[in-house]
Amino acid sequence: MGRLRTVNLAVPAEVGKRDGLAYSLWLPETASAGIVIVHGAGSCKESHHDFARAAHAAGFAAIAFDQRGHGESEGPMDARALDDVAAMARVLRERIGGPEAAIALRGSSMGGYLAIVAASAAGAAAIVAICPASAEGLRRGLQAGTLRFDANVDAVDAVLAGHELQPAVKALRAPLLVLHAEGDEQVPVQHSRELAAHFGSEGSRLIVLPGGHHRSIQHDEELQAISLRFIGGALRGGSAPGSVHD
């Protein structure tokens, strides 16, 4: 019989709320850079704790939070959707060295959209967007009631109407990594291919994976490592330390 191995998973250093937003914070012993993790529609922060642990193991601080209308955060999603991403970036900076600390955003689906359009407000030095939803698609889902979270529909619709992805991608000054599965049944891969034609920042990349589905990339360990290498290169001028290697 083989030996049993005990695996001790990293746990958040802090769990709390800021202005009604519930978050979990992951802090290595030393970290000068951090990642804000933005979940998708109908999801929650706990669904992305695997990536937070991977970031922690690679030497990054990380914060995952429930968007309004989700999880343990207070109130419906509203006009503060972009400001909330920036607010979580401020919380993370407070913990790792102040306003000059380097921060990246990593978002999935609706979170990918928000990571791109909130990048400037958050002062992001790198962005990873996984199968990013379009403003038009999100507006359709919001109006049809197929997005399963509590929202002030008019307020969120106004945010979406005012922030289209293609001009936002073109205006980015931080490098953007877009990951998309060809088999995505919710957000067509062509959407990300069209975004790639508008990359405005040096070092931006599109990686399209064969097969898969809308959620398959989020939790794939190899693709998480690719994301962390990309972020490490942008935030530190080189590869992330620890378990992430080329």
- Domain residue spans in the chain? 14-236
For the segment 165-192, what is each residue's pLDDT rounded down to a tens digit? 999 999 999 999 999 999 888 898 999 9
CA gap 64, 17 in Å, rounded: 11
For the whole model, what pTM was predicted? 0.92
Given a cut of 60, whether residue 10 has pLDDT beyond it is: yes
Q: What integer pLDDT is reported at residue 11 of this predicted model? A: 85
For residues 42-59, average pLDDT:
95
Range 14-236 has CATH code 3.40.50.1820: yes
C-alpha to C-alpha distance for 96 and 40, rounded to whole angstroms: 26
pLDDT at 155 over 80: yes
> What rounded mean pLDDT belongs to the chain?
91
pLDDT the model gives residue 5: 58
Rounded to an integer, what distance in angstroms lies between the CA atom of residue 99 and that of residue 123? Answer: 9
In this predicted model, what pLDDT tens digit does every residue of 98-127 receive, in sequence order?
A: 888 999 999 999 999 999 999 999 999 999
Give the pLDDT confidence score for residue 241 in this predicted structure: 36
pLDDT tier at 31, thresholds 50, 70, 90: confident
Return the pLDDT at 3.
Answer: 65
Q: Does the pLDDT of residue 48 top 90, yes or no?
A: yes
